[in-house]
Chain A
Amino acid sequence: MFGLYAVFFDRLLTGYSLFVHIILASVGMALPIIILLAEYLGIRFNDKQYESIAKRLSIAFIILFAVGTASGTLIAFELLLVWPKFMALVSQVAILPVYVEVFAFFMETIFLAMYIYSWDKFKSKMTHLLLGIPVALGAALSALFITMLNAFMNTPNGFNIATYLKNGTITNVMPYAVFSTPSTSLEASHVISTAYFAGAFIVIAYAAIMLLKASDQNKKAYYVKILKLALIVGIIATLLSLVTGLQSISSLVHLQPEKYAAIEGNINPQSYAPERLGGIPINGTLRYYIPIPDIQSILATGSPSGTVPGLSSYPKSTWPPLIIHLMFDMLLGASALVTLILALFVLLWLLKRKPLESKFMLSLFILAGVLAVFALEDGWVMEELGRQPWIIYNVMLVSQAANTTPTISPIAVFILAFYVVAIPATVFVIRKVLAKRPVEPEQVSV
């Protein structure tokens, strides 16, 4: 009985830690790009305001980085300590991306230390800018390599799975196979683009809030510049996220059919399958949904007569929870709203209606920031719940991997409580830091 509670706490602890870390990591990926763009424009056009933006945002970035790396360290420990049997298998088969990720992390850390503490040391400002590129690259590579491990969890390869399931022996290990599992390229591209998407929209929301508060033209010009830079990253990332997201869902038909079936609310396999919007899961079936005829079959197979998987083809013990269907709908809804807000902005901009001066548009950007973070977290939870009850799909159950030591639970509660305090404290500090460094009049563009 206690084992069940322990598994619950293990899940809760890891899930919550990742929930927090994902936000920090997303901002940590998008922010360096925005900082580098600002620094480049500052040098290119000798614009002191862009230079000031780069400096102020880099301070916010290093604070987020410090907390983000700490939470990343905690997760590294958690993987080892909370899921020891999982890590024991991963370490013998699929650890190389995690190992390479350490060097990507080193790249980010070491070059960040050089970048932050050498603003005025170089005769050529462009040399300083170059130091920032490995920071942005290291962040992206870290995301790439860590996602490779998650891809392995979804589509394991690189060892003889049949033998492992038969007698627990690990044989025929192909160490580099983990870099290219069937889901790696799609999952990595989707994770990276959505991280930039959410990170950029957090900055967009911040700039929009500050613009609404700004009282003088100097400050307004300053935050408009931040908003424009973040919008460049945000628009590109939104388009990439949509494309890779659609591809990812379609790929599940073959790679993880149970997950696909639960996401779409398919109890039975069927052709001419409708896209189901909404609905309520009752006793293992989905009811009261709105069907859009044939669309699911067309999207998944390219043909209305194409057959899509259903949960009934698999043992009920391996069904993911049907709640992920609703999570998928919410993900689609949030993403569609953000896309519509961006489309409205682009339209107003093309019509030369000065959308960045509109309080309504700025309010929509704040809403988009909230929706983007929601979409990121919702999508991740859906993805992880969709693999349940497996920690490694068709290889190892979550319950088999967990550390069921009784002492884990109080520590888990303590860590959860700690995060509740730590994250608001970080936000408070960043606000205070930025408030301590007000936008000075001399920072007006020249």
Chain B
Amino acid sequence: MNELYLINYLIFSIFLTMFLVEVGIAIISLFGYEKYKDRIKRLINPIWEVTGTFAIFYVVNFEVTYPTMLSIVGTAYAVPLLVAAIFIILRNMFIIFSEYIGTDKSEHRFRLIYSVSTLIAAILAIATLASGISGIGISPSTSTLTPSFLFNPFTILILASLVLFALSLAESILKPEGFQKIGIVSEILGFAIAYVAVAMYLPGFKIANQTILIAVSTVLLAIAVIIQAAKYKHAGAFNMILVFLLINLFGVAAYPYIFGTTNITSYIATSALATPEILITLIGGAFVAISLVALIYINYIKKNI
């Protein structure tokens, strides 16, 4: 597997996992914010900006990794991605408004706008991604996009699958009362739907890869069930790792295709930038990892230092 593809996909997986946590919590906020307010604030407030930074990390790494794809992506997906960017601005504004100027009533209202903005941004970004993977709705040769990029069975299945993963993550992290079983069921269902979508609509998805995907995922999901049953304290963190691994498994299984049947390696940078990119990613990635550990230690684990 191409190492630049791997780096790009790993960054994407981290971002998607973190973003799915936010999406799941945004969905729960729509229905029961007041009940879980303190937990939501403690979890999301210190980390939402880091999630946003991972989005930028992914975009810039994408630019470095796939320079010759930029004309196609930039031209075809300009509208959905710019609209998604607007909703990301709204997300940023309203989460911070709710934190600092909200009275009880307005805080709830601001959180609702934040949640809806996050969901719309997620739908547009995921639909764009699904279209890019499947090639549905986009013509790479003319860089044009039709509305079918959003309204097609593959995209809808992927959206449904990711919403289920998001709910599962939110459940394992927030631990809302009465929803303990929902989390693991969502996860298994989410995986099944994603598998069906990929198997049915990605022509390059090989049988051998499918077998490996199912075997490894079954083991992972079984571990998730055991952790869930044991009511382990850090089930949320484990679930995040699990979702991260599942996303990566799909990435490995679907490799090397983009736009349905095009080999993605034809777009990968073969220039002199490849080596510096790997070097910078390793050094920068190590710095980010250490900083995040410090953040988790200071903000979530230790009460006084």
Question: Chain A: residues with CB nearer than 8 A to chain B?
Answer: 59, 62-63, 65-67, 69-74, 76-78, 80-85, 87-88, 90-93, 95-96, 98-103, 105-107, 109-114, 116-118, 121-123, 127, 170, 173-176, 403, 405, 407-408, 411, 414-415, 418, 422, 425-426, 429, 432-433, 436
Contacts and interface: CB of A to CB of B under 8 A. Distances in A.
**4 nearest CB pairs, A to B:** A84-B74, A91-B67, A103-B284, A70-B89
B304 interface: yes
B173 interface: no
A279 to B, nearest CB: 40
A422 B96 CA distance: 13
B79 A407 contact: yes
B251 interface: no
B305 A123 contact: yes
Nearest to A410: B79
A69 B93 CA distance: 10
Chain A residues touching B, majority SS: helix
B88 A170 contact: no
Nearest to A158: B272
Contacts of B45: 117
Given A110-B291, A117-B46, A170-B271, A74 B284 contact: no
Interface of B: 45-47, 49-50, 52-53, 55-57, 59-61, 63-64, 66-68, 70-71, 73-75, 77-79, 81-83, 85-86, 88-89, 91-93, 95-97, 100-101, 269, 271-273, 275-277, 280, 284, 287-288, 291-292, 294-295, 298-299, 302-305
A77 B89 CA distance: 12
A85 B252 CA distance: 30
Contacts of A403: 74-75, 78
Nearest to A82: B78
B82 A96 contact: no
B74 A113 contact: no
A66 B92 CA distance: 6
Contact of A123 (B86, B298, B304): B304
A73 B52 contact: yes
Contacts of B287: 103, 106-107
Given A81-B82, A118-B298, 11 more contacts: A80-B70, A82-B78, A84-B71, A88-B68, A91-B70, A106-B53, A110-B292, A117-B46, A122-B304, A175-B271, A433-B100
B121 to A, nearest CB: 10
Given A99-B277, A103-B287, A113-B299, A74 B85 contact: yes
Contact of A109 (B53, B75, B93, B96): B53
B288 A106 contact: yes
B299 A118 contact: yes
Contacts, number: 214
Contact of A408 (B59, B63, B78, B302): B78
B99 to A, nearest CB: 9
Contacts of B47: 113
Contacts of B56: 72-73, 76, 102, 105
Contacts of A67: 89, 92-93, 96
B140 to A, nearest CB: 13
A81 B77 contact: yes
Contacts of B55: 73
Contact of B63 (A70, A95, A118): A95
A366 B79 CA distance: 41
B79 A107 contact: no
Nearest to A431: B101
A433 B81 CA distance: 32
Given A74-B86, A117-B45, A123-B304, A80 B71 contact: no
A91 B284 contact: no
B70 A84 contact: yes
B93 A422 contact: yes
Nearest to A414: B86
Contacts of A117: 45-46, 298-299
A90 B91 CA distance: 30
A409 to B, nearest CB: 11
20 contacts: A62-B100, A67-B93, A73-B88, A81-B74, A82-B74, A83-B74, A88-B70, A98-B60, A102-B60, A106-B50, A110-B288, A113-B50, A121-B303, A121-B304, A121-B305, A175-B272, A408-B78, A415-B82, A422-B93, A433-B101
Contacts of A105: 53, 56
